[in-house]
Each structure stands twice: as structure tokens, then as C-alpha cells.
Amino acid sequence: MSDQDIHLHYEALEGNGPYILMLHGMLSSRAQWSLNIPALQKVARPVLVELLAHGRSAAPEEAEHYHPEAYVRSFEAIREKLGIERWFICGQSFGASLTLRYALRHPERIMAQVFTNSSSALASEETLVTYRKTSEARAQAMEQGGHDGIRELPIYPGKARRLPEAARLALVKDAELLQPRGLAQSFRHSSPFLSVREEIANTSVPTLLVCGAAEKRFQSNYEYAVANIPGLKVVEADAGHAVNIEAADIFNDAVTAWIQQHGG
């Protein structure tokens, strides 16, 4: 891939130690990690990546760019551009479904991985049927309603109740950069195909789940992850979906220790 073919915005930050790719969730941005970056820079060099049609990333019209496997190819292209042999990866929500997939496709490039609550990553076939039914309606809402349609979504960051105010406002500010037509493509061509549930037992890299235990919707997927991801380590926090923000200290301590353990 050339630089022009990598539609994802990425930035490599200064730090000490191995690189760590960090990927946020739907309707979020690099601001997802604002409470984590200073702590992680003490032990790693964060590479912040933004999803298509989010933040500073492009919103290509072609459907194929939104397929989960296309994201995996882009991650590999970013790694090669930065000259990284092996790195850590960390995904949140939608982003976790992509980083877990990346680890399944290229375990030789991953030192270890971290993920947080992600219903999409481990969605059952029954749940995927529901996603497919709702994805077109949401895509049309994006195309017809533009940014007003985005603000109506239940996952719009302005509706978050558990986030510290400064973090919430940073996410709301970046939400103005969301590109509705690109989001429509994400709902059509990414969301219904994100699950790696049937493959997750093949995970071969060290895996840490930092779990927001207060999110009841994630409970069944949490149990599935514990039962099926080989050697999974779990750190729980009294937090909801955005555990890395709501319980930043717990997240930072867990991920810092994980990097130190597996960064040799």
C-alpha cells in the first residue's frame, strides 16, 4: 500500500519502549485515549489510529475499504510504514473487534494485545441477525440526517452519562469531524461482519481484557471470552463500556504492567 492507499489517519507519539497500536470505537476518536496516553508513554510508544469516517481519517466511497479484512491490511501497512517489526495492539469496542481479528491474522507481528468491552467482537449469530436488520436503517439515517442523525444515535458521546466531563467534551468536539456518508458505509459494510466469535479460540498471542463490569450487556460475551480465549487475563473495574476513561487509573496500571511483562 502507498500512503494514499492508507485511508486511516495515524500518528506515532513519543514514548519509551515498544510501539502500541490503539484503536477506538464507533463515534469516538483519538480523544478516547486522552486519559491513558501519559501513563502509557512511560512504557511504550502509542500509535493512535482513527476509524474510517472518524476524526481525521478519510471516508472513501468504495464499500470494500470498510470490510474488517481491509482494516487488517491497513494495520499491516501502517506497521510497515513505521518500520515496526512487532508491536502491541489495543482495541476499544468496535476497535477491539478489529484488533482481535488482526491478532488472529498476523500473530507473528503481535507481542501481546489488550481489548475492552466489545459486544461486536464476540457477537453470536443471533445478535448478528439483529445487526443486519438495523444496519441499513442506521445507514439511511446517516445519509438523510447528516450530523443531526449522528446526534440521535444512542451511542453519540454527548449522551454518555458515566464519563468525566472533560473527556466527554473532547469526544463531542471530535464528533463534529464524523462524516455521515462514511458512517453509513461503516454501518452497512463493517458492523454486520465484525464478529470473530467462531475464530477466537485460535488466538495465540497473550491477551488481556480490561473489563467494565458494570456493563451488563457485555456479560454474556465476557463469559464467552473467558471460556474460549486461551490464557486470557482479565482485570475488572467498576465501570461501564468506556472502561479506559471511566476507570483510567485501573486501565493504565493494568496495561502498563502488561506491556512490561510482555515487552521483552
Asked whether residue 153 is assigned to any structural domain, the reply reads no
Establish if 187 belongs to a structural domain: no
167 lies in some domain: no
- The domain tally of the chain equals 1
216 within domain boundaries: yes
Domain assignment present for 136:
no
Residue 183 belongs to a domain: no
Contacts (Cβ under 8 Å, ≥6 apart) of 118? 25, 91, 92, 93, 94, 95, 96, 97, 100, 218, 221
- The residue range of the domain holding 221 is 3-124+193-262
For residue 74, being part of any structural domain is answered with yes
- pLDDT, tens only, 45-84: 999 999 999 999 999 999 999 999 999 999 999 999 999 9
Residue 173 domain-assigned (yes or no): no
User: Are 39 and 256 contacting, i.e. CB atoms less than 8 angstroms apart?
Assistant: yes
Q: What is the CATH number of the domain that holds 107?
A: 3.40.50.1820
Which residues face 116 on adjacent strands?
210
pLDDT digits (tens, 9 = 90+) for 74-109: 999 999 999 999 999 999 999 999 999 999 999 999
Please indicate, yes or no, whether the overall pTM of this predicted structure exceeds 0.85: yes
